Amino acid sequence: MPSRMPIQFRLIGQALQYRGQIALSLFVLAGASLLTIATPALVGFAIDTGLDIQTVRDITGADTQVAQGDMSTLLLASALVLVAALARGVFVYAQTYLAESVSQRVAYDLRNMLYDRLQRLSFAYHDTAEVGEIMSRATQDVEGVRMFVSMGVIRFVYIFVLISVSYGLMIATNLKVGLIALAFVPLIAVQSSWMALRMRPIWLKVQSIQGEMSTILQENLTGQRVVKAFSRQDFEQQKFEEKTDDLFTHSYRTAKFQAFNEPFLLAVWLLSSGVVFWAGTAEIEAGRMLPGELVAFQLYLTLLQVPVRSIGFVVNIFARAHSAGTRLFEVLDAESPVQEKPGAPPLGPGSGHVRFERVSFGYDPKRPVVRDVDIEALPGQTVALLGPTGSGKTTIVNLLPRFYDVTTGRITVDGQDVRDVQLKSLRDAIGIVQQDVFLFSATIRENIAYGKADATQEEIEEAAKAARIHDFILSQPDGYDTWVGERGATLSGGQRQRVAIARTLLLNPRILIFDDSTAAVDMRTEFLIQEALRNLMTGRTTFVIAQRLRTVKEAHQILVMQDGVVVERGTHEELLTRDGFYRRIYDLELRDQEEAAAATEPAILPEVRD
Amino acid sequence: MAYWGGGGAGGWSGPGEGMGQRRGAAGRIDGWNYDDLGKVYDAHLIRRMIPFVTPYRWHSIFALISMVIVSLSQYAQPYIMGRAIERIVDRIGAGESVSADIRNFGQLLVLLAVISFIAMYTQRRMTGFIGHRLLREMRGMMFAHLNRLSMRFYDNEEVGRVMSRVTSDVVTLQELLTSGALNVLADFIGLALIIGFLFALDVQLALVSLAVIPPLMLFMWFWQAYAARAFIRTRMAIATVNSNINENVSGVRVVQSMGREAENLRRFDRLNTNNLDSNLYAARLQAAVMPLVEILSSVATLLVLIVIGIRTFNGDIEASAALGFATAFLLYIQRFFNPVRDIVLQYTQLQRAMAGAHRIFELLDTDPEIADAPDAIELTEVRGQVDFNRVDFEYVPGVPVLRQFDLHVRPGETIALVGHTGAGKTSVTALIPRFYDINGGELLIDGVDIRKIKLASLTRNISIVLQEPYLFSGTIADNIRYGRLDATDQDIRVAATAVGADEFIDRLDRGYDTVLHERGQNLSVGQRQLISFARAIVADPRILILDEATANVDTHTEKLIQRALDTMLKGRTSFVIAHRLSTIRSADRIVVMRDGQIAEIGNHEELVAQNGIYADLYRMAFTHLTEQEAATERTEG
């Protein structure tokens, strides 16, 4: 729901879910500010009434200062200071906590919303979005909004009340001195806001240089073998130092700004209390002000030092909330082009009959990535897609589980258009083993049961056995509880792939998509993978994207793709007879193995273990 | 408030940071081991930091003097005001004119403000300069050291952890050396000044108003212990939340294809709730500080007023003095809580900084292991003779990888290395450019022990193409030029043409000037590998190592590389680890490795005739094929 409302209003709307807490926090906030303001006045009262220093002309006719007050009044006034402090303590505590609580809850909501939105956006979104970019929204922008809710919304009210009531009181006590005190507020407010706004772009610049520096560092570390292989240490050092020099120049610039700003704010404050003191003593002399009132003024100025200075902070938070909110709502408002029809029925039972009817697809409809593709896969058949990188093989199979929607034409599974059925039921019917096997940092067990969280140990083991990974898992010290590092880093490519096969087996899909453009593994592993695959493919309609002909040869249909269109189709034997693309790849790929077959006597099958 | 700064978005600090949340090491997030906060004061570490600061001793001294002036001008103010009130009220009482006094005191206060501005500005400029210079130098130093460390270091360290030492630990240390240490010092000086002024005014009142300090210290002490732990928990909670988001976004294709959205949201919500809870807990603790400080300062106010009252009414002090005391003491009470609070808060900061310093020095102390010997020679005119004389090698002590490995390669010979994963093939190739030092035996290039050759001259003669093509950000030309920095555009073109990369590069809009995204993500794996081949060839090496260089590439690229291979290997000593039989078969000699030793050696025909491991492997490729054919028949039948 894109909206023309200012972003800050939408953010406040988000916070208003907790209107109870906000109302309570505003209430305690009012209490806290009033009690805070009362303290200097009470101290002033204690001095002026409790001590009540008066000039008295004594019998000799000389003026002396005498305390006219009495101990009980002084005690009462001082006790009031303490009572006010205790009460204020409670209110300030509640206010601080509530502000934090509301802001944390808003951040919590935003994270959940963001998380769910992101995992439901179609591939088209994720194809263009960068993970780092998304992460910076999920971290820095959520934090920006959180700060806005706690500081910008709640704290702002507090600061506003505190400043206006305190100065109101001062002006009411003594117009002249009050106005002098007030004169410094705009100065501080303007300077600190101007600074905050001025610093933002410089900070962003520093951050971006920091990012560049990290990239060089990271590349140097990750590519260390290359650096060493070419002895490029000096070259890398130079690249890195260019960035650290750059970083020095810019961050020193921010330091110079700050070196001016903070002393300036402190000096203005010292100046203001000095000038107020100056004017105040003059007023005392003129008899228009009491000493206690001047003490109260000084206490007010001390009290207001932080709130007045934080005006700049608040201004910055407002500015940041605008960009952060915009970026967050960009994600939250993003609509997935793949939408389930309201009330769509689940995919009916069937045996996996898949038809592509004149299917075209393009991110930009005018520039289709695949054009007019017709495929009919009968239940249990294997369809192999072959072609160079970028020919549209992966795009075609991604249309089947509706990771993208077709631009024209239609795809049916067991007679039903994929766009007419419930998305989850469709995807449940399709198992996918992707090219870049993605495992999650969890145990092997959890990774195998990824698509079926309630799978029993027996089911998991059965799948692992069929995927020829069970023996390997048992050989690990923790068995099925072995922790798989980030993205499965602790496993080899072949092992990751077999875990992925087990994971898909457990889903028991009627249709299978297998992306075979995998790294070469040693022959034993290759053999195990082939066995696992055979178990996986049995009785399922399978689409194989193949770089290697080994997996293709046994397919019922082979589709050779180029630039988004099917240029050749048929079985292995049929395609060999044509002198086309298939024939050329075949020559390169399989000939040496076939020759090997001719050259060597068929021998005993070597024992295969993992 | 710096204490809480960044607590919200803590764990995640940009690309490249290790996001892995490992079981059993959950306490270790973005390079921090929170269970192990450092000592606050570690004399050994401090001694090691001093050399960093010595070049800036004059800046530091300036900063220090300025800081004392700032404290003085800031904390003298209430004293002056108290004295002024006393004097002015006194003289008013006596009916004398106070205009001169008012002007004098007023001017003094204004002067104080100006002085404090100048002093504070000087201090900030100095510390800012020192701080950012320190950062630059420490980073440069660490970077250089990292490049000197051997591959063994990189095998055992996660990139994310090393990154965080150079990025965030350095910042912590720099903050400690500049603002941190100085702030603590400033707080102590400030506190001492306040106490001095208080006692200068009145001993009894000073003691009364300072009475609340011990309970405050005690409270803050307990508080910071809890708060530090709560704070650590929030950092860990948010790091877990962020790494979960990161993983889910990276793996979104699997998530969607497996229909895990609901389950994942449920699990994420658990982490997110945990983060909320730990933040709310921290907030409950955090919210307690200000109220408590204010209540204690009110207690002090109350005590001071009562004592002043008693003494005034008893006639112990003059009425004007009572006013002066009230002014000065009440203003001081409001001010002395800040340094006290800061000192306690800095405690945890100091701990963290020390822990960071410890990690930095740990890194800087790591032995580079492999460095040029003092008498190392420059290698010129290499022929390419490589001799492994009974070489022993292990990555981990006690786990031999190569045992008595003996291989003698003639200049220009092509050696194919064959064997199962873990047989030691890659180790053989990693020893030649001296990524690791051997544990026993000898490794000679043209008859010279490689430990006696200057590293740079050794690697200048060797090029390696790895399975994973690793490219740097920059243009394609930059990346090819990485092999030889003085290569001309023409050289680059020739190299690219030699490996068949020219075809796709010319098709790109910007050709050789195409800027690669991080790690060349905008090219296919095959294209990246072609560039790394060109990079290897432009160096015109005498020795060429191809470690599974064609394993990940698509058929088309492989075809190009196959075609280029003959020219590339010609006239060079080459070590090839490959999976393609045709490549292996055309090698001059095939070395079959098993358990770190040579099991068989000879050319293709000889090895097939031997009917050993190689023949088995060869046949397996073949049977594999027939197996599949059999399977196809089964499904068809």
Answer for the pair B220, B296: CB distance below 8 angstroms, yes or no: no
DSSP for residue B597 = E
Element at B120 (helix H, strand E)? helix B99-148
Model confidence pLDDT, tens digit, residues B444-481 = 999 889 889 888 888 888 888 887 788 888 899 998 99
Give percent above pLDDT 90 in chain B: 12
pLDDT, tens digit, 9 for 90 and up, residues B258-268: 778 888 899 89
Going by pLDDT thresholds of 50, 70 and 90, the confidence category of residue B518 is low
A421 at the B interface (CB within 8 A)? no
Spatial separation of the C-alpha atoms in residues A542 and A432, rounded to whole Å: 10
Tokens representing residue A326 in the block: 């915009």
Burial class (CB in 10 A: 0-12, 13-18, 19+), A230: buried
- Is residue B463 within 8 A of residue B537, CB to CB? The reply is yes
The span from the CA of A182 to the CA of A172, in Å, is 12
Joined together, the tokens standing for residue A283 give 């007023």
CA angle A239, A242, A248 (to 5 degrees): 145
Nearest to A412 by CA among A371, A349, A370, A356: A356
**What is the CATH number that goes with domain B469-540?**
3.40.50.300
| Three-state DSSP state, B582 | helix
Q: How many helices (H) and strands (E) does chain A have?
A: 22, 12
Task: Say which DSSP state A400 is in.
Answer: T
Q: What is the pLDDT of residue B8?
A: 30
Domain B38-365 and domain B469-540, same fold? Reply is no
Residues of A with Cβ-Cβ distance to B277 under 8 angstroms: none
Report the alpha-carbon distance of residue A39 to residue A82 in Å, rounded. Answer: 9
pLDDT for B425 beyond 70? yes
**Any idea where the domains of chain B sit in the sequence?**
38-365, 384-461+544-557+575-637, 469-540
Q: Residue A104 — very low, low, confident or very high, per pLDDT cuts 50/70/90?
A: very high
Number of alpha carbons in the 13 Å side-chain half-sphere of residue A102: 30
Residues from chain A contacting residue B258 (CB–CB below 8 Å): 427, 450-451, 503, 507
Higher pLDDT, A118 or A306: A118
Question: Which chain A residues have a beta carbon less than 8 Å from that of B279?
Answer: 100, 104
Between positions 554 and 573 of A, the ones with CB within 8 A of B are 554
**Which helix (H) or strand (E) is A198 found in, with range?**
helix A175-222
Cross-strand bridge partners of residue B442:
B389
Contacts with B554 from chain A: Cβ below 8 Å = 388-389, 517, 547
CA triple A445-A532-A412, angle to 5 deg = 95
Lowest mean pLDDT, pick from A102-106, B395-399, B404-408: B395-399
- C-alpha atoms less than 13 angstroms from C-alpha of B590 in its C-beta half-sphere: 27
**Number of Cβ pairs < 8 A linking chain A and chain B:** 539
CB A347 within 8 A of CB B259: no
Phi, psi dihedrals of residue A303, rounded to the nearest 5°? -60, -40
Nearest CA in chain B to A517: B554
Q: How far is B440 from chain A (nearest CA, A)?
A: 22
Question: How high is the pLDDT of residue B568?
Answer: 83
Considering only CB atoms, B559 lies closest to which of A138, A146, A588, namely: A588
Choosing among B85, B182, B272, B298, which should be mutated to test the A contact, i.e. which has the most A CBs within 10 A?
A: B298
- pLDDT level of residue B2 (50, 70, 90 thresholds): very low
A132: pLDDT strictly greater than 80:
no
Q: Is A486 exposed, middle or buried (0-12, 13-18, 19+ CB in 10 A)?
A: buried
Q: Write the CB contacts of A459 (distance below 8 Å, at least 6 apart in sequence).
A: A452, A506
A238 and chain B in contact, CB less than 8 A: no
A282 contacts in chain B (CB < 8 Å): 99, 102
Yes or no: say if B482 and A232 are a contact pair by the CB < 8 Å rule: yes
The pLDDT, as a whole number, for residue B275 is 92
Q: Does the pLDDT value for residue B344 go beyond 80?
A: no
Mean pLDDT for A167-187 is: 86
pLDDT bin (cut points 50, 70, 90) of residue B521 is low
Q: What are the strands of the beta sheet with B589-594, ordered from one edge?
A: B462-465, B543-547, B573-577, B414-418, B589-594, B597-602
Best B129, B194, B305, B314 residue to mutate vs chain A (most A CBs within 10 Å): B305
- Rounded Cα gap, residues A13 and A22, in angstroms: 12
pLDDT, tens digit (0-9, with 9 covering 90-100), for B302-336: 898 888 888 888 878 877 788 888 888 888 887 78
The amino acid occupying position B103 is R
For A361-403, the pLDDT digits (tens) are 987 777 788 889 999 999 988 898 887 767 788 888 889 988 8
Q: Enumerate the residues of chain A whose CB falls inside 8 A of the CB of residue B124.
A: 255, 258-260, 262-263
Angle in degrees, CA A524, A526, A531, rounded to 5: 100
Q: What is the third-level CATH fold of B38-365?
A: ABC transporter transmembrane region fold (1.20.1560)
Closest among B617, B476, B464, B433 to B549, alpha carbons compared: B464
A592 with B559: Cβ contact below 8 A: no
Q: Using 50, 70 and 90 to split pLDDT, how confident is the model at B253?
A: confident
Question: CB–CB of A284 and B92 under 8 A?
Answer: yes
For residue B369, the chain A residues in CB contact (below 8 A) are none
pLDDT, one tens digit per residue, over B34-74 is 444 556 667 787 788 888 888 888 988 888 899 889 888 88
For residue A510, what are its two tokens?
Answer: 């009627």
How many alpha carbons lie under 13 Å from residue A464 in its C-beta half-sphere?
23
Find all residues with CB under 8 Å of B494, minimum gap 6, and list them.
B538
Q: Do the chains contact at A603 and B615, CB–CB below 8 Å? A: yes
Strand partners, A375: A356
Helix, strand, coil shares of chain B, percent, nearest 5, are 65, 10, 25
Superfamily holding B384-461+544-557+575-637: P-loop containing nucleotide triphosphate hydrolases (3.40.50.300)
Q: Which tens digit of pLDDT belongs to each residue from A551-609?
A: 677 788 999 888 888 888 888 888 888 888 888 777 766 655 555 544 443 333 333 33
Q: For the packed helices B261-286 and B213-250, what is the interaxial angle rounded to 10 degrees? A: 170
Instruction: Confirm or reject contact between B218 and chain A (CB < 8 A).
Output: no
Contacts of A462 (CB under 8 A, 6+ apart): none
- Among the listed ranges A314-318, B413-417, B549-553, B586-590, which one has the minimum average pLDDT value? B549-553
Token reading at B239: 């790091």
Distance between CA B559 and CA B565 in Å, rounded?
Answer: 10
Q: Is the CB of B192 inside 8 Å of chain A's CB atoms? A: no
B541 CA to centre of own chain? 34
Task: Please give the structure tokens belonging to residue A25.
Answer: 């926090």
Cβ within 8 Å, pair B268-A251: no
Largest separation between any pair of C-alpha atoms in chain A: 138
Say how many CA atoms lie within 13 Å of A297 toward its Cβ: 33
pLDDT tens, A79-96?
888 898 899 889 889 988
Q: Which residues of A touch B318 (CB under 8 A)?
A: 65
Q: Tell me what ipTM this predicted complex has.
A: 0.79
Q: Which residue has the higher pLDDT, B37 or A335?
A: A335
How many other CB atoms sit within 10 Å of the CB of residue A413? 24
Residues of B in contact with A277 (CB under 8 A): 81, 84, 105-106, 109
Burial of B94 (0-12, 13-18, 19+ CB in 10 A): middle
Look over chain B and give the mean of its residue pLDDT values, rounded to a whole number: 81
Residue in chain B closest to A45 (alpha carbons) equals B305
Please tell me the distance in Å from B119's CA to the nearest CA on chain A: 8
Alpha helices in B489-603 (DSSP H): 489-498, 502-507, 525-538, 555-569, 581-585
Rounded Cα distance, A281 and A209, in Å: 53
Tokens of A447: 């990774």
Supply the pTM of this predicted model: 0.75
Contact criterion met (CB < 8 Å) for A248 and B133: yes
Q: How many CA atoms lie within 13 A of B2 on its CB side?
A: 16
Q: Which residues contact B493 (CB under 8 A, 6 or more apart)?
A: B502, B512
What's phi and psi for A480, nearest 5 deg?
-70, -15
Interface of A with B in 568-607 (CB under 8 A): 585, 588-590, 592-594, 596-597, 599-600, 602-603, 605-606
pLDDT (0 to 100) of residue A524: 67
Cα A517-B544-B565 angle, rounded to 5 deg: 55
* Backbone phi, psi, residue B485, to 5°: -65, -25
